[in-house]
């Protein structure tokens, strides 16, 4: 630990009191505050593999993984060595460099619908820029999104959003102008009739349909493939672009994300998280004709002081190269299956009124519904989800398991979550349920 932190009164509670005087709610992103949990957040000072260590020196199995980027686990040695090498070479240029080219070519070669791409510094920026391209390309202003899908804190998309807004009454944000909100049309997931109506009414005004092809910001609401296929087809029939927001699912559920799994070629796709190996990187890419509309080639302006930051570029490339070399996606599927089997055994033994939902290395525990049907829409999530999850979260935390501190956020497994660690996780959940 460095000098600036080693001599402090390092209890999480004391640090949170100080932090509240510095940042709104003591945090720099809302879900971190443990809002509604009835206790203050844990402050972490170290991370390694599948573990986090708090300032009190307590160790936690980490199933939040910084909300998804750390697919190899924290401080993977191969990624670390590339990062250290880069730190010794340069931190930023604000000029042309080869590092973004290497990562860009790696992606372009393997992800065929990314004919061209642009690196930015966050998922939000990627989405915001993709929407700008869509509006410029179609000359239309409206965007269609699904209720509960989160696409970053872009003004126009903070309408019926998920993530930190999940479970709130308004599912929206203050500070969004009515004109901005009016440009966003929302429709429930898995509702073909409502979708057809929107296209009938507004089809000619819609620049793009944006979707999380695996909605993972309001729980894990796995969609029927036919619904996604139909939604994309109708968007295209109406002259709108299809934007896959794969900030979570991209490079996580498969190298080519959900687009690969569904066999759908989006016009544009947005990425982040894993792509930067734990550093702030986002990316949007897709059809060459659309991407060539961006400055300096075209009239769509988009820029960034730290865009394609070399540390993020080498961390991202090292992460992806290793994932490919070790067949990381197959390995994570096996680990996911193990977790699913063990958790389902616990749920069965304890007769716990819970369901475990999983897609690859993404998972979500939710309160069982009466129908016991798979959840595909926000409205189907039982109203007791928050209260029940919060109890489980606190007990698990106490026993050394860090789940994302929100009932509607998904959990993540990494390559560092070995079979033994998964068994430890399940033991903690078993005890917490007791
Ligand atoms: N899109 C999706 C699907 C996301 O899950 C997120 C963040 N969780 C974003 C966009 C925004 O990314 P960022 O937080 O990096 O701005």
Q: What angle do CA 333, 54, 216 make, to 5 degrees?
A: 35
Residue 3's pLDDT band (boundaries 50, 70, 90)? Answer: very low
Q: Rounded to a whole number, what is the distance in angstroms from the first to the last CA of the chain?
A: 37
**Can you say whether residue 65 is alpha, beta or left, with left for phi > 0 and alpha for psi between -120 and 50 degrees?**
left
User: Ligand 1: which of 152, 211, 223, 408 to mutate, most ligand atoms within 8 Å of CB?
Assistant: 152
- Does the predicted model carry a pTM greater than 0.85? yes
* Ligand 1 atom closest to Cα of residue 124: 16
Distance of alpha carbon 128 from the chain centroid: 16
How confident is the model over 15-36, as pLDDT tens digits?
999 999 999 999 999 999 999 9
Query: If you search the block for the tokens 């007769």, which residue do you land on?
Result: 351
Give the mean model confidence (pLDDT) for residues 199-205: 97
Give the mean model confidence (pLDDT) for residues 397-410: 98
DSSP lists the bridge partners of residue 242 as 209
How confident is the model over 328-344, as pLDDT tens digits?
999 999 999 999 999 99
Give the mean model confidence (pLDDT) for residues 353-373: 96
Name the nearest CA neighbour of 408 among 35, 62, 49.
35
What would the DSSP string read from start to end of 99-120? HHHHHHHHHHHH-TT-SEEEEE
How confident is the model over 135-165, as pLDDT tens digits?
999 999 999 999 999 999 988 888 777 777 7
pLDDT given at position 5: 54
DSSP state of 265: -
Active site residue 150: yes
Residue 95's pLDDT band (boundaries 50, 70, 90)? Answer: very high
Give the mean model confidence (pLDDT) for residues 352-364: 97
What would the DSSP string read from start to end of 358-420? EETTEEEEEEPPSS-PPP-SGGGS-TTHHHHHHHHHHHHHHTTEE--SSTTSPEE--TT--HH
Rounded to the nearest angstrom, the distance between the alpha carbon of 175 and the centre of ligand 1 is 19
Whether the pLDDT of residue 180 is over 90: the answer is: no
Active site residue 349: no
pLDDT given at position 170: 47
Distance of alpha carbon 9 from the chain centroid: 33
User: Ligand 1: which of 131, 146, 151, 309 to mutate, most ligand atoms within 8 Å of CB?
Assistant: 151
* Ligand 1 atom closest to Cα of residue 246: 3
How confident is the model over 304-333, as pLDDT tens digits?
999 999 999 999 999 999 999 999 999 999
């Amino acid at each position: 630990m460095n000098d600036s932190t080693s001599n402090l009164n390092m209890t999480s509670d004391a640090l949170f009191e100080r932090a509240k005087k510095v940042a709104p709610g003591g945090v720099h992103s809302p879900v971190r505050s443990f809002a509604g949990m009835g206790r203050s957040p844990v402050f972490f000072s170290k991370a390694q593999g599948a573990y986090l260590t708090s300032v009190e020196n307590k160790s936690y199995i980490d199933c939040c993984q910084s909300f998804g980027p750390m697919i190899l686990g924290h401080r993977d040695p191969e990624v670390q060595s590339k990062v250290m090498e880069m730190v010794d070479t340069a931190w930023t240029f604000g000029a042309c460099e080869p590092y973004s080219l290497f990562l860009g070519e790696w992606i372009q070669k393997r992800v065929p619908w990314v004919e061209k791409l642009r690196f930015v510094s966050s998922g939000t920026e990627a989405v915001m820029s993709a929407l700008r391209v869509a509006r410029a390309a179609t000359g239309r202003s409206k965007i269609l999104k699904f209720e509960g899908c989160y696409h970053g804190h872009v003004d126009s998309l903070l309408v019926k959003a998920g993530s930190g807004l999940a479970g709130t009454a308004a599912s929206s944000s203050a500070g969004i102008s009515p004109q901005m909100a009016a440009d966003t049309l929302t429709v429930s997931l898995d509702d073909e009739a409502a979708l057809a109506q929107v296209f009938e009414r507004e089809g000619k005004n819609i620049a793009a349909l944006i979707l999380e092809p695996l909605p993972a910001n309001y729980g894990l609401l796995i969609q029927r493939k036919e619904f996604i296929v139909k939604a994309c087809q109708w968007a295209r029939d109406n002259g709108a672009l299809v934007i896959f927001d794969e900030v979570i699912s991209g490079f996580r559920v498969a190298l080519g994300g959900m687009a690969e799994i569904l066999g759908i070629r989006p016009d544009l796709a947005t990425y982040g998280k894993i792509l930067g190996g734990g550093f702030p990187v986002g990316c949007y890419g897709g059809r060459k004709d659309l991407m060539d509309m961006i400055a300096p080639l075209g009239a769509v302006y988009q820029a960034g002081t730290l865009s394609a930051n070399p540390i993020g570029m080498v961390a991202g490339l090292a992460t992806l190269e290793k994932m490919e070399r070790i067949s990381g996606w197959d390995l994570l599927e096996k680990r996911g299956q193990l977790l699913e089997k063990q958790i389902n055994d616990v749920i069965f033994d304890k007769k716990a009124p819970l369901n475990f939902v999983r897609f690859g290395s993404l998972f979500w525990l939710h309160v069982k519904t009466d129908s016991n049907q798979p959840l595909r829409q926000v409205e189907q999530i039982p109203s007791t989800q928050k209260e029940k999850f919060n109890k489980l979260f606190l007990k698990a935390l106490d026993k050394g398991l860090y789940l994302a501190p929100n009932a509607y956020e998904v959990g993540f497994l990494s390559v560092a979550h070995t079979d033994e660690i998964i068994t430890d996780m399940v033991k903690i959940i078993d005890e917490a349920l007791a």
